[in-house]
Amino acid sequence: MRVLLLNPPGQRTYIRDYFCSKTTKSNYLFHPIDLVMLSGRVASAHDTAVLDCIAEELSPEAADARIDTFAPDAIVSLVGSVSWPEDREFLRAQAARGRRVIAIGDVLHEKAEERLRDEPWLEAVLGDFVSADVLALLERDFGRARGSTVRHSDGRVETLGTPGKLRGEYDLPRPRHELFSQRGYRFSFARSARFATILTDWGCPYPCTFCVMSTLGHASRPIASVLDEIDHLRARGIHELFVMDQTFGVNRKRGLELCAELERRGDLSWTTYVRPDRSDDELLAAMRRAGCHTVMMGVESASPEVLASYEKRYELRDVREGFARARRHGLRTVGTFIIGLPEETEASLRASLELALELELDFMSLNMAVPRFGTPFRRRAIELGLVDEQDLVMDQGGAEAKLPTQSLDRATMLALKQRMIRRFYLRPTYLWRRARSAQSLGEFLRQVREGAALLTRNAKSGG
């Protein structure tokens, strides 16, 4: 059949990706990994096209015209809590034209059966994007599905297996990067403008209670499968990668083996996530030799109590040592923080900013706390009365403050977050260091555009 993999249009630059939807925090937009990974599986059995309306900046009317041109029998679409009203309207109209609609996204990750009953235009909800479930749903062979939610011909709604909970190893046909737009994607840390987004494992084995990744289980792709994908990209002239693994090297032996293969190729440049307590000298040295230039690590908070209560399972000492090791190995560092948890105060935010300065981060990423679907933190936020269980719309990118804290209202939280961004990025010494670190004029100009977008989004607004 003719199958369209769709990232729907939107009023803003939405990132609907890996069960975490948000608006872009500055100007970046990487390839939606859900569609990337689904592309190989679907194209192995069906005539497949990809339409990323966000990357191509298509209006709903222009998107309709493009979809009509392809005339799909079925649409497999991303949806997001950040854009749920828009997504529902657009996809309902597609279903009204006789097109089957299957969807995946954070807003469907929790209570998928309830969502499916509420949305008669929606045929099924994918539980993951790396298994063969997508083919089972397209071919209505539900006996083969193991983690998705389906509507039977008699109207019954049923969840088959446990969505997302993959273990061990998975494989899939090579993702079809060539189906994606050649323009529109931007990545803050890429050394080259042309890059690809890849995934070598699934989920995360750690139990951080505010993070949806802890709800997905953890599984890895065979290294040979990963290398086949990377070599295909290299043959197309793409050498810059965003490796979206949530904890690169969590399987130490596998991480070192993959780095050895990338080092042997000798022409790759990449960014990924690591944990500060798992990234020792041997792993970081291997990553650097393999072409890694930037690592993103969770700091989360300067409060030891917050780290413990949300089950980060490392201490501030591990954070300091992890970032120091990365610097010693010549890696740029991105420190990610979660702010606005119920315990947050103005003093704790000030302490987090001071920690970011102490760590000599190359980039600081602030994420507003939101009650992500399926997480223990969502259950706690509902119990505390900080969020209405029926409210399905939220922005995890921080353009708005979704939650108040126990001592700060939403407006104050947002103003403090904006102040932290300005104080970190507008230091003259920092700006000079960033300018000197650019390895090409193109990278320098991309950094300027990203910085300008970030500061514009966090301009002073009464805070």
Provide the pLDDT confidence category of residue 397 given band limits of 50, 70 and 90. Answer: low
How many residues are there in the chain?
463
* In the predicted structure, residue 24 carries a pLDDT above the cut 90: no
* In the predicted structure, residue 392 carries a pLDDT above the cut 90: no
* pLDDT value, residue 244: 97
Q: What is the pLDDT of residues 209-266, one digit of tens each?
A: 999 999 999 999 999 999 999 999 999 999 999 999 999 999 999 999 999 999 999 9
> Which range, of 60-64, 191-195, 438-442, averages the lowest pLDDT?
438-442
Instruction: Judge if 2-151+163-167 and 187-446 fold alike in CATH terms.
Output: no
Ranked by mean pLDDT, which of 22-26, 190-194, 386-390, 392-396 comes out on top? 190-194
3-state secondary structure of 160: coil
Enumerate helices (H) and strands (E) in the chain, giving the number of each. Answer: 15, 18
CA distance 152 to 40: 26
CA distance 14 to 90: 15
* pLDDT value, residue 385: 86
Cβ contacts of residue 183 below 8 Å, gap of 6+? Answer: 55, 56
CA distance 435 to 437: 6
Phi, psi values for residue 115, rounded to 5°: -60, -40
* pLDDT value, residue 398: 63
Cα Rg, the chain, nearest whole Å: 21
Q: Which residue has the tokens 């690591």?
A: 274
Residue 366, strand partner residues: 337
Phi, psi values for residue 152, rounded to 5°: -75, 165
State the burial class of residue 366 (Cβ atoms within 10 Å of its Cβ: 0-12, 13-18, 19+): buried
Q: What is the pLDDT of residues 101-143, one digit of tens each?
A: 999 999 999 999 999 999 999 999 999 999 999 999 999 999 9
CATH number of 2-151+163-167: 3.40.50.2300
Residue type, 53: C
Mean pLDDT of the chain: 93
For the beta sheet containing 332-339, the strands, ordered from the edge strand earlier in sequence to the opposite edge, are 196-198, 240-243, 269-274, 292-300, 332-339, 363-368
DSSP state of 108: G
First to last CA, the chain: 54
Higher-confidence residue of 193 and 54: namely: 54
Q: What is the pLDDT of residues 57-94, one digit of tens each?
A: 999 999 999 999 999 999 999 999 999 999 999 999 99
Beta strands, E only, 248-386: 269-274, 292-300, 332-339, 363-368
Domain assignments of the chain as residue spans, ordered by start: 2-151+163-167, 187-446
* In the predicted structure, residue 281 carries a pLDDT above the cut 90: yes
3-state secondary structure of 416: helix
CA distance 195 to 192: 7
* pLDDT value, residue 25: 81
CATH 3.20.20.70 fits 187-446, yes or no: yes
* In the predicted structure, residue 400 carries a pLDDT above the cut 70: no
